[in-house]
Amino acid sequence: MLTVVNPEEPTPAVVSAPVVSAPVVSGGSLIDEIVRDGARRMLAAALEAEVAAYVAAHAGERDENGRRLVVRNGHARPR
């Protein structure tokens, strides 16, 4: 909605509000930490997909004993 402002009338006082900042997490802001965590998850998912595609693409390659040449060794238990 548009209103017409009369230049002869005084403008209302501006009410100031306190500035609230995000809590700081280990030297950075909370939003930085959220972005970093999201980037880590995206990178991990992309790497998992790339490894799965590579293993699937080379599933038919076998050595002279009939064993697959490209296998996924799995994941270690978190420490």
pTM: 0.53
Residue 21, Ramachandran bin (φ over 0: left; ψ between -120 and 50: alpha; else beta): beta
Residue 15 lies in a domain: no
pLDDT at 76: 66
Q: Which domain holds residue 33?
A: 28-57
- Is residue 41 domain-resident? yes
Given a cut of 70, the residues of the chain with pLDDT beneath it are 1-27, 76, 79
Residue 71 in any domain: the answer is no
Number of helices and strands (H, E) in the chain? 1, 2
Q: How far is CA 37 from CA 30, 32, 34, 51, 79, in A?
A: 11, 9, 5, 21, 20
Our count of domains for the chain comes to: 1
Residue 38 lies in a domain: yes
In this structure, is residue 77 part of a structural domain? no
